[in-house]
A and B are shown apart, each in its own frame.
Chain A
Amino acid sequence: MNIAAELLVVSFKVICSFVLAGAKWLVKPREKRVAGQVCVVTGAGSGLGRLFATEFARRRATLVLWDINREANEETAELVRDIYRETEPRRGSGDGVEDVPFYQPRVYTYVCDVSKRESVYSTAEKVRQEVGNVTFLINNAGVVSGHHLLECPDELIERTMMVNCHAHFWTTKAFLPKMLDLNHGHIVTVASSLGLFTTAGVEDYCASKFGAIGFHESLSHELKAANKDGIKMTLVCPFLVDTGMFQGCKIRKEIAPFFPPLKPEYCVEQAMRAILTNQPMVCTPRAMYVVNFMKTILPFDAIVCMYRFLGADKCMYPFLAHRKESTNNNESKI
């Protein structure tokens, strides 16, 4: 095709996608059905993973919960079973809760260390045999070492990278082939705002989250290039979430009321809406889109200036100090 004509077509398509994005913003698109579909959540034992599991349970998806901690995982499974019972559709009630054919979803739990390739592959094989084809893959498991780079044991740096980033390779490689065959699936990457911009003192965490986003973007382009339109991808970038993972993290005192730590429920609610409407990316709160954009157009000195104004450049230092203190008191879990 003539280059000029092609350029015209591309420009038209770009404008179209802007219009479409605007339209979606005004008219909320319908959420897709997940009832009866299999959904794998990694790191389901706590924090956002547990909330993702309960949200999917509320929509009556079959859940496969992965976590390294058996008891925590079972607790989540119990929560999920409760929700299944609560939301059981009453036949003939006619209140329009669910008009799908009666289907009893189930919950399966697996103990799996996602940082270990063999563990992921063997657990995935079990899932395939015991549960069936996976439609949703929520790559949620994440850890943080909580030490300054020079004081951090090397094994913890490796572990952060393996759980937060390399694990996505293995889980995705395990479930993607079937999704490709069926041209049907959805891969969700739970990253962090720290995957879009960084802060001092948590090099390993930022590196792992940026890596996860790099992986996510490259994979989504790969699927697009292969014309696999049926497989959707959603990137979830929450700001600091109030799950205790970054206890002690503080931005500037006067600014803090404008950026309070997110309620995990709110964060997952926003993420669920994005997932169910096939939105490619969701940042909570929305101000993060602005920060992200500013970061790409400003020179580095100005970015530093902005971070200092927000008190974001060293916001992790109190967290690191807190972590150190609790390690000394033998309170730390990891």
Chain B
Amino acid sequence: MMDLKLWGCALLFPLQIFLCVLRAAVRFLLPPRRKDLGTDVVLVTGGGRGIGRHLAKEFAKQGAKKVILWGRTEKCLKETCEEISAAGTECHYFVCDVGNREEVYQQAKVVREKVGDVTILVNNAAVVHGKSLMNSDDDALLKTQHVNTLGQFWTTKAFLPRMLELCHGHVVCINSILSLSSIPGAIDYCTSKASAYAFMESLTLGLLDCPGVDCTTILPFHTDTEMFQGMRVRFPQLFPPLNPEMVAQRTVDAVRTNTAFVVLPWTMHFIVALKSLLPQSALEEIHKFAGSYTCMNTFKGRT
């Protein structure tokens, strides 16, 4: 009896996989149903500048009820907040460093009291030090881990329980393609982003049984913001830096269509697949050719 069931499953398995691939292809061609954001309260960490700022604006534009911004610099937060409010969406901002656990929990409480339950949490805040291991400062290495990885644990722990109670919520993570394909010269960033990716993947698997609560992870290539200023790819015609507005648009779209993982641009799938297939020395040659060994030499981003 047990054997029969196993054989049945084993035979069905390739078919299931095929169906999944087919469904993904159909989703790619036909526009799927998009959920309405009208009742959602969106919290964007690192919402003062860069991708976060565009994300906040995009969520407001696509009909979110309220937008909350978290960040470390009050000036940028205020500017973004005013911009969104002027466009007619309720917007609040709070100064909060997600790398600091107590501050996250405290500000989360303030948000709940002043604004209400957060239903879309966008973990976007990130920092980069952008040096090789031996040139990195210990505290800077740790800070990147605390903001980029542990910050997501704390924000998720702060807001996820309520989402589960309401059976309504979405955890979004703005990651980076560097989480799946590391480069030299940004060892702090690659480590933290790989951790953050695993966190989201594990969380996504765990939340599959929780109706109404979903996850989305965005893995963009180099995006044209001040964070990675000066980073130079070798073939900008082939792989131009992404526009932050486009990343924001695709993110909101992925949230509305409940897509779990989005790689931007999609050509990066090849690089990730190649990595799992090629011998290390071949991979190194390709990296060298593609210029990823030298792209961080000109880096002068904000740290």
Contact of B190 among A208, A218, A289, A307 (CB under 8 A): A218
Binding-face segment, A77-85, A100-108, A128-136, A193-201: A193-201
Tell me the interface secondary structure of chain A in the complex.
helix
B184 in contact with A309 (CB, 8 Å) = no
Q: Which residues of A contact B269 (CB under 8 A)?
A: 296-297
B191 in contact with A201 (CB, 8 Å) = no
Contact of A17 among B183, B273, B282, B287 (CB under 8 A): B282
Q: Which residues of A contact B278 (CB under 8 A)?
A: 14, 17-18
B279 in contact with A207 (CB, 8 Å) = no
B289 in contact with A180 (CB, 8 Å) = no
B191 in contact with A218 (CB, 8 Å) = yes
**A221 close to B (CB within 8 Å):** yes
A203 in contact with B187 (CB, 8 Å) = no
**A334 close to B (CB within 8 Å):** no
Chain A nearest CB from B141 CB (Å) reads 5
Contact of A157 among B153, B198, B206 (CB under 8 A): B153
Q: Which residues of A contact B141 (CB under 8 A)?
A: 166, 169
Chain A nearest CB from B239 CB (Å) reads 15
In B183-226, the 8 Å CB interface with A consists of 183-187, 190-199, 201-206, 208
Q: Which residues of A contact B13 (CB under 8 A)?
A: 305-306, 309
Number of interface residues of A (CB under 8 A): 76
B133 in contact with A225 (CB, 8 Å) = no
Binding-face segment, A62-70, A171-179, A243-251: A171-179
Binding-face segment, B14-22, B51-59, B74-82: B14-22
Q: Which residues of B contact A293 (CB under 8 A)?
A: 273, 276-277
A200 in contact with B190 (CB, 8 Å) = no
Chain B residues touching A, range: 35 or more
Report the Cα distance A177→B134, complex, angstroms. 8
Report the Cα distance A93→B149, complex, angstroms. 58
**B29 close to A (CB within 8 Å):** no
Q: Which residues of A contact B196 (CB under 8 A)?
A: 207
Report the Cα distance A176→B136, complex, angstroms. 13
Binding-face segment, A5-13, A35-43, A263-271: A5-13
**A51 close to B (CB within 8 Å):** no
Task: Kindly supply a per-residue 1/0 record for chain B positions 268-303, scoring 1 wherever the CB is within 8 Å of any chain A CB and 0 otherwise.
Answer: 010011011111111011111100111000000000
Q: Which residues of A contact B261 (CB under 8 A)?
A: 300
Q: Which residues of B contact A287 (CB under 8 A)?
A: none
In A278-328, the 8 Å CB interface with B consists of 280-281, 289, 292-293, 295-302, 304-307, 309, 313
**B86 close to A (CB within 8 Å):** no
B206 in contact with A203 (CB, 8 Å) = yes
Binding-face segment, B34-42, B88-96, B156-164, B240-248: B156-164
Q: Which B residues fall within an 8 A CB radius of A?
A: 2, 5-6, 9, 13, 16-17, 20-21, 23-24, 101, 132-134, 138, 141-142, 145, 149-150, 153-154, 156-157, 160-161, 179, 182-187, 190-199, 201-206, 208, 260-261, 269, 272-273, 275-282, 284-289, 292-294
3 A-B pairs closest in CB distance: A214-B194, A210-B198, A211-B195
23 A–B contact pairs at CB < 8 A? A7-B289, A13-B282, A117-B138, A149-B156, A149-B206, A154-B101, A154-B157, A198-B201, A202-B202, A209-B198, A211-B145, A212-B191, A215-B191, A218-B190, A254-B5, A293-B273, A296-B273, A297-B273, A300-B261, A302-B16, A302-B21, A305-B16, A313-B205
